[in-house]
Structures are given as structure tokens and as C-alpha cells.
Amino acid sequence: MSDQITDRIAKLEKIRELGVDPYGSRFTDVTANAAIAAAAEKLTIESGQILDAGPETTFRAAGRVTLHRIFGNLMFMTVRDRTGDLQFGLSKKMVTEGWKVAKLLDLGDIVGVEGTLGRTKTGELTLWCTSLTLLSKALRPPPEKFHGLTDVEARYRRRYVDLFANPESRDVFIKRAKIIDYARAVLHRRGFLEVETPVLQPIYGGAAARPFTTHHNTLDMDLFLRISPELYLKRCLVGGLERVYEFSRNFRNEGISPRHNPEFTLLELYQAYGDYHDMMDVCEDFIAGAARDVIGTNKIMFGDQEIDYTTPWPRMKYVDLFAEHVGFPLTDIAKVRQRARELKLEETKMDDAVVVNALFEHHVEPKLVNPTFVIDYPAPICPLTKRDPADPNFALRFELFINRMEIGNAYSELNDPAVQRETFSNQLRGEGDETMAVMDEDYVEALEYGMPPAGGLGIGIDRVVMLLTGSKSIRDVILFPLQRGQGPGT
């Protein structure tokens, strides 16, 4: 055990000897630091002045001590709450009872105070305390006051420390919550209903991904953690709920990267009687709106790259982007396969459409920096999408790209049960052993009852938060990202 912890335990015992509980309880009528600062803005306070106590000038406040400066019988401390930092002042004269406890305070302790506003000789807004209550003694020291906690592993494993030590980290998660609130507001305005569908699924579907498996003991039944809520949400359309959405935690048993976490959040929504054009409108409303209203600008830096969220966003055909950036039409399969061989792809194991899409990912996607809708995908890689009536080789699907990342994926939903049954049966080669085309007989039966034509959309919420907060890693926008070696089996 470190000396610092030993010292703090000794102080805790001294505090108990003073008859004070070092782990306090309910502390009522607290005004947030930011609100206290806002209230002070309305008052005239001279430097060096402490105002007379009164309902406009006296506040109760609480938070964690992040800095302190002690001058014999005078103490300043910087106290942090969820809204920001505020300086508290304590003098032995003003807090006669609390002074003994104040001298035993450490950085990281959580305190509650009552005090009166004033300014120091240097003009700093200060809450001059008339009482001090220790609400929680910290036994472990906080990170270094200037650099905070910078060790990446420590920030993920002990996020609670990161959150109180690094305000910019806390701000990311506050913004994440506001972005999600904003999405809900957009959808409610459009008449959508929030629903919840199974995480434990007997058949996984709705995406191309390897699932996590688990087992229900009493039913003696193998189950999958969902890779997508899609097939259940579309059952809701059959049932007549017509406009539904879900913030879906999805689980995919695949690699981890700065853009991939094994569990991640997808906003998925379905709108009966609409199509994928309506879904483009929703994307723009949500993401450009959140940039404007949550972040406060439509031009946001991501690293060195400025991204312009100003709408409308370009809507480019897949076939045209392919020809432009690859250099020949996607229908020229000989050239497509030739190029794939040059890129050392195992093209002989892939169907044509899979090779085409591999070239698209290699040549086109890296060019898509500002928000771009790529529309009308080759039909064979779209098993859940309605075919274009004008050209059944293409499907009415778009993907939204921002900063080279796929952010959204949307279809005019396939609602012909016969076509759906057929696409479930035609497994594509080159898409891995376990693709989205797992036959879900109950889902096809649902379509046979009649599903209205609909637009459907999935948006990667973690990635949207990354973009809007300038976070380089998905782990910086997930509170507790998966880390190796924490369980009893390790």
C-alpha cells in the first residue's frame, strides 16, 4: 500500500475522532457551480469584496476538490462539479468549527459547503464558506493536477478517474448524451415510436457479421446476441406501428480497431410508406442539426481535416463514383477482376458483385470526406433491399460516408416475400462463412402477411459522436470499452 493511501487513512481516522463522518449523506439545496457563476454575473462585486449574506448571494455547493492552496489560516480550493470549476475560500475565522476538518482535506475529497459570493483581490469569483461538510474522503490520490490522466490504458480501465480528472473527456460524454437526445427529438417530431426488440435472438440477421453465442439453461436453447435489430423492427411495420426506432446495442464478434468496438450503438428506424429518400432527409436533419445545435457549428475539425456538414449533402450514384475513381465501368468484369488481382485480393473465391464492392471500398470510400450519400448499390450485395424497378441489377440502397467512414446505411425495404425468400437462399461467395443471408422463416412469413413499403435506416451513433466531438478512437466515445484480462478466468 502506498504512503499516500496510508496518510489518507490516518487523516480519515482523525476526522472520525473529531466526531465527523468522513462519508457524508444527503446534501440538499445545492446550486451547480455554473449556475452560481451565472448568478454572480448579475451582481456587482468589487475585487476584495465579500457580499453580505442573503438569498441572492449565499449558496450551497458541492463537488470534488481538484486544487488547493493554503496560507496558514486561509485556504483556497478549486472545486469541480458536473458543470465546471469554482473557487471556494475558507478562512479559520469564518469556519471555526470546520477548520479542523478543512486542514485534513486532500485533493480528490468531495465536499459540500455553504458560502457567500465575493471576489479576491485579484478579482477571482470566490464562494467564501461559512460551513464545510466532508461528503466523501478520497483514499487514493487523483492524477497529476496539470497533465491529468493521459495514459490511454488507464483512461479506459479507470474511466471514473478520467471523467473527473479530464474535463474534456467528461464533455465528450455529455455531448454524446445531447446528440442522442437530439436524435430522439428529430424522430418524435416526425412521429416515430421508440420500441425495444430482442437482444437475445434464436436466429441472427440484418447484417453480415459473426455473432456472439450464448445459452439459455432452462430452455436449453442456444441464442445469439443481436448483430442488428432490423428483422424485428420490420416485423413492427407488419404489425402496423408504421414509424419505429430503436437505439440498438449490437454485438459483433470481430476485430477491435479505432473504429470498431465489439458492442456498439446503432440507431435504427423504419418509416412505412416512405423510401430511402426519406431516410436521407432524416440523416441530414439529425447529423447536420446536431452539429449546429449541440456542437454549435456546421464545420467541425476531425484531426487536420475540416468537415462541412452544411446541407444538402451530395447524392452520388454508386455506378458513377465507381467509374470516376476506379477508371472503368463496374460492368467490365474482366477489368474488375484484373484490378482485384493487382490488389492481391482472392478474387477467384468471390462473386462478381463482391469483387466490385471490394474495389469500391479500396478506391472510392477513401475519397469521401465531406458527408456524401452513395446511392443505388449492386443488387446482389443487398439481400434486404427493394430492387430498382427501372434496373433490377441495382437496389434502392444508400450508404452515408463522412470522413471516409461508413456512418449510415439505408434501404427502400424489400417487402416482396418471394424475392426475400430467394435472396435468403442465395448465399454470396466471398462474404465470409456467416453472412446476413441466414434464412429466417418466421420473418418471411411476416412479410407474407404484408409489410407496407418503407424506408429503413441505420446510423452508427458511436461514429457520429466521434465525428462531432473530434474523437479519433471509438473508445473515446464509449464509457467503458472492452479491455482484455479483467475477468475471473484471466
Which 192-211 residues touch RNA, going by CB under 7 A? Answer: 207-210
Whole-number minimum distance, CB 362 to RNA, in Å? 8
Which of positions 285-344 make contact with RNA (CB under 7 A)?
Answer: none
Q: Does 460 bind RNA (CB under 7 A)?
A: yes
> Which residues, numbered 376-415, are part of the site for RNA (CB under 7 A)?
406, 409
Q: Which residue has the cell 476526522?
A: 15
Q: How far is the CB of 387 from RNA (least distance, A)?
A: 20
CA–CA separation, 82 and 84 (whole Å): 6
CB of 259 vs RNA, minimal distance in Å: 7
Which residue in 362, 425, 413, 405 sits closest to 385, CA to CA?
Answer: 413
Please check whether residue 184 is in contact with residue 267, taking contact to mean a CB–CB distance below 8 angstroms.
no
Angle formed at CA 138 by CA 132 and CA 142, multiple of 5 degrees: 115
Q: Which is nearer to RNA, 257 or 310 (CB)?
A: 257
Near RNA in 242-281, by CB under 7 A? 252, 254-262, 264
Start-to-end CA distance of the chain, whole Å, equals 23
| CA 21 – CA 13 distance, rounded (Å) | 10
* Residue 227: burial class (beta carbons within 10 Å; 0-12, 13-18, 19+): buried
Q: Give, as ranges, the residues between 30 and 69 that touch RNA (CB under 7 A).
A: 48, 50, 67, 69
- Within positions 156 to 175, which residues make up the interface with RNA, using CB under 7 A? 156
Choosing from 9, 18, 43, 70, the residue that interacts with RNA (CB under 7 A) is 70
> According to CB under 7 A, which one of 21, 56, 97, 144 is a site residue for RNA?
144
Query: In 221-314, which ranges are continuous DSSP H helix?
Result: 230-238, 276-283, 289-290
Hey, which residues between 428 and 447 contact RNA (CB under 7 A)?
431-432
Q: Which is nearer to RNA, 241 or 437 (CB)?
A: 437
CB of 32 to RNA, least distance (A): 19
- How many CA atoms are closer than 13 Å to the CA of 322, on its beta-carbon side? 24
Q: How far is the CB of 101 from RNA (least distance, A)?
A: 14
* Contacting residues for 167 by C-beta, under 8 A, at least 6 apart: 80, 84
User: Could you give phi then psi for residue 250, rounded to 5 degrees?
Assistant: -110, 155
- Is residue 197 within 8 A of residue 232, CB to CB? The reply is yes
Among 115, 148, 380, 455, binds RNA (CB under 7 A): 148
Min separation Cβ 133 and RNA, Å: 20
Q: Is 17 in the site for RNA (CB under 7 A)?
A: no
Rule CB under 7 A: choose which of 106, 246, 285, 347 binds RNA.
Answer: 106
Cβ closest to RNA, residue 91 vs residue 136: 91
Round to whole Å and give the CA distance between 104 and 101.
Answer: 5
Which residue's CB is nearer to RNA, number 329 or number 432? 432
What's the CA dihedral at 416, 419, 420, 421 to 10 degrees?
120
In the complex with RNA, the residue whose CB is nearer, 91 or 393, is 91
Give Dmax (Cα) for the chain. Answer: 89
The one-character DSSP state at 434 is: S
Q: Is 7 in the site for RNA (CB under 7 A)?
A: yes
CB of 435 to RNA, least distance (A): 8
Q: Which of residues 357-376 bind RNA (CB under 7 A)?
A: none
Rounded CA separation 257/462 (Å): 13
Task: Identify the DSSP state of 141.
Answer: P
Output the smallest distance, CB 390 to RNA, in A.
26
Q: Which of 72, 303, 389, 488 binds RNA (CB under 7 A)?
A: 72
Least Cβ distance, residue 218 to RNA (angstroms): 30
The answer for residues whose C-beta is within 8 angstroms of residue 255's C-beta and 6 or more apart is none
Which residue reads 488481382 in cell numbers? 341
**Residues in 81-100 that interact with RNA by CB under 7 A:** 87, 89, 91-93
Instruction: By CB under 7 A, name the one of 29, 41, 52, 153 that touches RNA.
Output: 153
Contact between residue 195 and residue 239 where contact means Cβ atoms under 8 Å apart: no
The CA R_g of the chain, rounded to the nearest whole Å, is: 29
Q: Which of 57, 116, 126, 471 binds RNA (CB under 7 A)?
A: 126
State in angstroms the smallest separation of the CB of 470 from RNA.
14
Closer of 119 and 243 to RNA (Cβ) = 119
